[in-house]
Amino acid sequence: MKFRPLHDRVVVRRLAAEEKTSGGIIIPDTAQEKPMEGEVVAAGPGARDERGTIVALDVKAGDRVLFGKWSGTEVKLDGEELLIMKESDLMGVIDTPAPAKKK
């Protein structure tokens, strides 16, 4: 992808939604809600503060993040549906624990 977001904007790819409930009921596509979890694809350099210096973003490409249900602007780049939003629209970064080693 040849796209670089400006200022404090990030490009996010939604992660796939669960197709089954915990009870095993399969949810059809039409009834599924859009996931509020995604992966940062690209991030801008940061916003400028009052002095004009650039304040770097807290997220980077590859981070798993949570965002609001109606956050961002949906765009289609290279045939892929992505979201462009400001860093302030992100609620947080999900730290995934390292997988446990088998003995």
Q: 9-92 has which CATH code? A: 2.30.33.40
Average of pLDDT values for 39-47?
89
Q: What percent of the chain has pLDDT over 90?
A: 13
Hey, what amino acid is at 91?
A: M
**pLDDT, position 54:** 87
Backbone angles phi, psi at 51, to 5 degrees: -85, -10
- Kindly report which listed range (7-11, 31-35, 47-51) carries the lowest average pLDDT score: 31-35
Q: How far from chain centre, in Å, is Cα 57?
A: 14
Query: pTM above the 0.75 mark?
Result: no
User: Can you list the pairs that 88-96 forms with residues at least 24 positions away whose Cβ atoms lie under 8 Å?
Assistant: 88/8, 90/10, 90/59, 90/65, 90/66, 91/65, 91/66, 91/67, 92/65, 92/66, 93/58, 93/59, 93/63, 93/64, 93/65, 94/37, 94/63, 94/64, 94/65, 94/66, 96/64
Tell whether the model's pLDDT for residue 39 goes beyond 60: yes
- Mean pLDDT for the stretch of residues 29-33: 54
Q: What is the pLDDT of residue 16?
A: 72
Distances (CA, A) of 64 to 19, 27, 94: 20, 24, 5
